[in-house]
Amino acid sequence: MLKIAKERLNELYAKISETMGLFIPVNYAGEVNYKVWKEGAEVSLETLKTVKSPKNMFFPQTENMMKFKTEGKNIEIIDVRKDYKEEKPFVLFGVKACDYKAIEVLDKVFLAEPVDTYYQSRREATTIVTLACSKPEESCFCGVFGIDATAPQGDVTTWLDGEYLYWQANTEKGEALTALITALTEEGGEETVAGQRETTKAVLENLPFAKLDLSRFTPENLNDLFEAKEWEEMSEACLGCGTCTFVCPTCQCFDIRDFKTNEGVIRYRCWDSCMYSDFTLMAHGNSRTTQMQRFRQRFMHKLVYYPSQNDGLYSCVGCGRCVNKCPQRLNIVKVVKTLGGKKDD
């Protein structure tokens, strides 16, 4: 294990940026999100959760898919994917365990056949440096999904305290990145990291949602859950605002549209939400016509449909963003408690 003095972190960022792009949590206009590091940026590794998850690095909120030029009856199709294939490798720095697990959820969607080449090109270009949690919040419940917030995966795993950033390479990409910054490091830190992990685990075990019971959310209970009368009552206050889907690190729904310009037509995709009344709207109408149906679809997908098709992997990672952001407090925790119950202490 290596360690880097905290006062040298700007040197670390600058060294990485010499050869690769560096995306890192930055405080800008009062919000912390992943942005390209530049000298003078207000980096905030201490922030537990960025407002938007890092999925935006691989699955942008909006992106062009192709362009068309028309002349009479002739159509020229311009492939924009070359821009992604030639993309400069970049480092995604400071990813928490929950957000890293969310990338695994997205991988199973976008890298399954047929592979989404837009997503794939960015994933292949990325080296992910994760950062262990040391001060979890009351809204966190990643442990319910088997995630260890004290030892996240990634190409490199790091831990931070008041003096050092501790660094452990896990993959070939991680070793290559480590070789770039070795001059800034020194050996040591194992005992400090072990102590931090033990302390953090004790906190995690006593968080309010640490004992959520997922045992009822199985394929065998699909019909009973689908027909549960509680959906109607829970969804009554839902505004259909889509906030939960836009802050969620695993939501992957998108819409595709064409936009006409003076230089041709741009086909682009943008994030969409299953909570919207016009989601998947077609000429014949929409198969989910009530907010209850849309509300039920969102949570059934995360807790039953997705895990039943992906070897038990839930499409929720317990990051707690929806807990913090839903204006009506109709988050996934409420659904689990209402339909699944809670374990006794």
User: pLDDT at position 285, please?
Assistant: 63
Contact, 78 vs 261, CB < 8 A? no
User: pLDDT at position 186, please?
Assistant: 95
Rg, C-alpha atoms of the chain: 22
The C-alpha atoms of residue 123 and residue 258 are separated, in whole angstroms, by: 26
- The mean per-residue pLDDT over the stretch 8-32 comes to 95
Contact, 281 vs 300, CB < 8 A? no
Summarised one tens digit per residue, pLDDT across range 135-163 is: 999 999 999 999 999 999 999 999 999 99
**Angle in degrees, 0-180, between the axes of helices 117-125 and 97-110, rounded to the nearest 10:** 140
The C-alpha atoms of residue 107 and residue 126 are separated, in whole angstroms, by: 13
State both tokens at 231. Answer: 């959906």
Contact, 144 vs 318, CB < 8 A? yes
Output the CA torsion sign for 136, 141, 144, 145: negative
Summarised one tens digit per residue, pLDDT across range 310-329 is: 999 999 999 999 999 999 98
**Angle in degrees, 0-180, between the axes of helices 9-17 and 172-181, rounded to the nearest 10:** 110
- Residue 332: closest CA among 282, 292, 298, 308: 298
Summarised one tens digit per residue, pLDDT across range 29-81 is: 999 999 999 999 999 999 999 999 999 999 999 999 999 888 888 888 888 87
Number of H helices, E strands in the chain: 13, 12
- Residue 101: closest CA among 69, 57, 45, 142: 142
Summarised one tens digit per residue, pLDDT across range 187-226 is: 999 999 999 999 999 999 999 999 999 999 999 999 999 9
The C-alpha atoms of residue 175 and residue 167 are separated, in whole angstroms, by: 11
The C-alpha atoms of residue 194 and residue 210 are separated, in whole angstroms, by: 21
Phi first, then psi: what are they for 308, rounded to 5°? -70, -20
3 state SS of 137: coil
User: pLDDT at position 343, please?
Assistant: 41
The C-alpha atoms of residue 208 and residue 214 are separated, in whole angstroms, by: 15
Contact, 125 vs 56, CB < 8 A? no
Summarised one tens digit per residue, pLDDT across range 233-268 is: 999 999 989 899 999 999 999 999 999 888 889 999
- Residue 214: closest CA among 275, 146, 151, 150: 146
- Whether pTM exceeds 0.85: yes
